[in-house]
């Protein structure tokens, strides 16, 4: 029997790409109760945005880089968020005070369910884990267990009455550098209310969206919706005035990805930078393990690679190597 990639028979949608997507924050409900801290974090993020953009300009030989900024709102794990109108006002004002403009705002729940599309499930179905030599098959596959690791865990001791004690065997990381850093990541758990996706899994979907590599039948996933299509523009086409108009009352009625800046460069980019609190360090370690195991649409990856080459850019072969982080902590 011969198997053939579906992507070989379908047309891959092409679209514009930014050189860099910079995530300037990941918002939790508690952050809104600390407006001064939020402003400090935004000011620090603005400095990184300006510095990163300047460095990228030099790498491009003085050409103006296409850089877009984005912000992720946690409406999946935390209920009781302020209304979209209030929250967007707080975030955009904090950004403006720091001399920063947020181009795109996304809902984390959309990384689980994007309209009718089970997006997290689609990505989970594309996870390929090949057990290293020596494993005995006692660990169930990722599709059944909901757990993904970056190597070989310690074998489970055999329980034999009056038998000799088993010698402990340490876990081993795949492609380790001298020493192992073993990680086992929970992707989901199944509850009475249905499947509950983990924070690392949703964050991995978010990164793949920003890289523009996700497709459904060859078509792009995660097209931002302009703010003008969400709120009535009664003051001409001034985006700043549009932001003060009335948004839907609930986050569920908001678009998955909202384009706040009409003049923004494209949402997807060749590379991503995430400016996050140091609290996200463990989560993003898990994100890299997940992204490294996802078999993305071959046509999409090849299209993006060729687009970058036409601009004189060489992208890393591994998608995970296109992700960069800046972790911030209190000084």
pLDDT more than 70, % of the chain: 83
Structure tokens at 240: 């700043």
Q: Contact 257/309 with Cβ under 8 angstroms? A: no
107 confidence band (pLDDT: 50, 70, 90): very high
Measuring CA to CA, which residue among 208, 224, 231, 222 is closest to residue 319?
Answer: 208
> Residue 302: pLDDT above 70?
yes
Mean pLDDT confidence for 105-125: 96
pTM of the model: 0.88
| Total count of residues recorded for the chain | 331
Q: Tell me how crowded residue 13 is: count the other CB atoms within 10 A of its CB.
A: 17
| Mean pLDDT for the stretch of residues 180-203 | 93
Give burial (CB, 10 Å; 0-12/13-18/19+) of 10. middle
- Top mean pLDDT of 133-142, 144-153, 171-180 is at 144-153
Half-sphere exposure of 140 (CA within 13 A, CB side): 5
pLDDT band at 157 (very low <50, low <70, confident <90, very high): low
Report which of 301, 280, 288 is spatially closest to residue 74, judged by C-alpha positions.
280
Q: CB neighbours (10 Å) of residue 138?
A: 7
Contact (Cβ atoms closer than 8 angstroms) between residue 220 and residue 232: no
Positive or negative CA dihedral for 68, 309, 324, 297? positive
């Amino acid at each position: 029997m011969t198997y053939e990639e579906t992507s070989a028979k379908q047309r891959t949608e092409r679209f514009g790409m930014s050189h860099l997507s910079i995530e300037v924050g990941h918002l939790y409900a508690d952050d809104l109760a600390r407006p001064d801290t939020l402003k400090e974090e935004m000011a620090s993020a603005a400095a990184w945005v300006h510095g990163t953009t300047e460095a990228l300009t030099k790498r491009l030989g003085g050409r103006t880089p296409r850089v877009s900024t984005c912000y992720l709102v946690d409406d999946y794990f935390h209920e009781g968020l302020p209304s979209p109108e209030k929250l967007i006002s707080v975030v955009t004002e904090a950004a403006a005070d720091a001399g920063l403009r947020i181009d795109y705002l996304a809902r984390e729940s959309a990384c689980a369910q994007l309209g009718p599309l089970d997006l997290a499930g689609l990505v989970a179905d594309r996870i390929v884990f090949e057990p290293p030599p020596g494993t005995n098959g006692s660990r169930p596959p990722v599709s059944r267990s909901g757990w993904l690791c970056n190597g070989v865990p310690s074998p489970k001791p055999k329980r034999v009455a009056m038998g000799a004690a088993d010698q402990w065997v340490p876990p081993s990381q795949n492609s380790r550098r001298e020493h192992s850093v073993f990680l086992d990541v929970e992707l989901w758990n199944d509850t009475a209310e249905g499947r509950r996706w983990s924070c690392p899994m949703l964050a991995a979907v978010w990164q793949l969206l920003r890289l523009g590599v996700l497709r459904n039948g060859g078509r792009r996933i995660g097209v931002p919706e302009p703010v003008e299509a969400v709120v009535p523009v009664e003051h001409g086409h001034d985006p700043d005035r549009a932001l003060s108009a009335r948004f839907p009352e609930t986050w569920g009625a908001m678009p998955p990805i909202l384009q706040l800046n009409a003049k923004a460069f494209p949402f997807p980019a060749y590379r991503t930078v995430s400016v996050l609190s140091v609290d996200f360090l463990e989560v993003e370690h898990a994100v890299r393990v997940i992204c490294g195991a996802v078999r993305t649409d071959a046509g999409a990856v090849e299209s993006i690679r060729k687009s970058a080459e036409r601009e004189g850019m060489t992208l890393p072969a591994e998608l995970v190597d296109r992700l960069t982080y800046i972790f911030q902590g209190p000084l």
